[in-house]
Amino acid sequence: MKRLPVGALVLALLFLSEVQAQTIRIGELNSYKTFAAFLEPYKKGMELALEEINRAGGVNGSKLELVSREDGGNPGDAVRVAEELISREKVALLTGTFASHVGLAVANLAAQRKIVFIAAEPLTDKIVWENGNRYTFRLRASTYMQTAMLIPEAVKLKKQRWVIVYPNYEYGQSATASFKKLLSKAQPDVQFVGEQAPPLGKIDAGAVVQALIDAKPEAIFSSLFGADLQKFVREGKLRGLFKNTVVFNLLGGEPEYLDPLKDETPEGWWVTGYPWSQIKTPAHQKFLDAYRKKWQDYPRLGSVVGYTTIYSAANALRKARSTDPEKLIAALKGLEMDTPFGPIVYRAVDHQSTMGAYVGQLSAKGGKGSMVNWRFADGANFLPPYEEVRVLRKE
């Protein structure tokens, strides 16, 4: 092997150091193998944002580089991978995670290691409230927020006998707690007459549906998603659970989980979701056109979340003009930015963004599911007051 002259080697090392100094590394970890339906589009959204930002000159003259890792869908692996991104890859900040219990573990590590963490997808309220810390910020509307968006429709129906079904881990538990609290406050005579909590990804749909039927409900609140939701819908239809029972389902209108139902899509369910083909705002149309041009595919909700996560990091870095964690925290507190869903703010009080969601009903048309009678719910209107948040955060 031919050796480089010492002078050339020194120049090469200096060039490499200069290139590295001009690149800001963003660490990202997620459960790509476990939650592929959401996270494959999420990754495409991230890559689109990264391409746009770097094509426009990067951030304060520096290019952004995304260093992505698989977290295995469990807290232990996620903490190990996050530690690797911090120590070995020297990332400026962390982003990502999907499952709520994984997000909580990484948030705890971020506080210990004093590095900023933008939690993209975990929906548990604890990540910004009871377990919130100064280094963790969260993009998506939480379980509390999305549940609060559905409550007005639930109250209008004046149903007394409710049953609840949820995946038995942090997200489902958090969604259930928020629904019970908010509906009981708005409708004091409500009764919760049954509850089913199957393990995530392992629902025995027949047994769950029969238990709910036996409770003789007037209405159902569900936070099932993915394959669990498909099995629940199929078995519920077969056994007649939904015939005279109104259903509310968090996330049920997201294309990731709605599209696989096809002609099995239940009619009239109230859901939060993303009616991508019907949104005509300029901000969304710009995103939609860019996404379809790059990927020859339509976006899912994960696409919007991934895209907005990277822009959140870029905007924070641009505003801070530094990768120093303290300056990034100051930049993210109160950060205002545009998204495909419209303007958002990262609230200084709890680090929760005001990103909204779409609320509507399900309908099967032409052999596939869609959202109808939908409206956009601004997340800023579905958050508890600052005084309540400060109590939750023990401030």
Edge to edge, the sheet with strand 23-30 lists 63-70, 23-30, 93-96, 117-119, 136-138
| CA dist 43 → 124, 314, 347 (Å) | 22, 16, 26
User: Parallel, antiparallel, or unpaired for β 63-70 and 23-30?
Assistant: parallel
pLDDT score at 47: 98
Q: Which helix (H) or strand (E) holds 146?
A: helix 143-157
Q: Identify the sign of the CA torsion 72, 75, 77, 80.
A: positive
- E-strand stretches of 105-157: 117-119, 136-138
Edge to edge, the sheet with strand 368-377 lists 191-196, 161-165, 219-222, 246-253, 270-273, 357-365, 368-377
- Which CATH class, in words, describes the domain spanning 6-141+280-356? alpha beta
- Which CATH class, in words, describes the domain spanning 144-278+357-387? alpha beta
DSSP state letters, 290-359 = HHHHHHSS---HHHHHHHHHHHHHHHHHHHHTS--HHHHHHHHTT-EE--TT--EEB-TTT-BB---EEE
Question: Do 355 and 339 form a contact (C-beta atoms < 8 A)?
Answer: yes
pLDDT score at 40: 96
Q: Name the DSSP class of 260.
A: G
pLDDT score at 18: 45
Rounded to whole angstroms, how far apart are CA atoms 377 and 374? Answer: 9
The number of C-alpha atoms within 13 Å of 303 and in the hemisphere containing its C-beta is 23
In DSSP terms, 6 is beta-bridged to none
Q: Name the DSSP class of 253.
A: E
pLDDT score at 204: 98
The domains of the chain are located at 6-141+280-356, 144-278+357-387
Task: Give Cβ neighbours of residue 281 (< 8 Å, ≥ 6 apart).
Answer: 342
Rounded to whole angstroms, how far apart are CA atoms 125 and 120? Answer: 13
pLDDT score at 6: 57
Q: Token pair of 338, please?
A: 């545009």
Number of Cβ within 10 Å of residue 161's Cβ equals 15
**How high is the mean pLDDT in each 10-residue block of the chain (395 residues)?**
53 45 91 93 98 97 97 96 97 97 97 98 95 97 97 97 97 96 97 97 97 98 96 97 96 96 96 97 98 98 98 98 97 98 97 98 92 97 91 82
In DSSP terms, 361 is beta-bridged to 270, 372
pLDDT score at 8: 54
Residue in the block written with tokens 């109250």: 155
Amino acid identity for residue 184 in this structure: S
Cα three-residue angle 369-275-56, rounded to 5 degrees: 135
User: Parallel, antiparallel, or unpaired for β 357-365 and 336-337?
Assistant: unpaired
Task: Give Cβ neighbours of residue 82 (< 8 Å, ≥ 6 apart).
Answer: 27, 29, 71, 94, 106, 109, 110
The reply to whether domains 6-141+280-356 and 144-278+357-387 share a CATH topology is yes
Task: Give Cβ neighbours of residue 125 (< 8 Å, ≥ 6 apart).
Answer: 142, 143, 144, 174, 178
The values of phi and psi at residue 63, to 5°, are: -75, 150
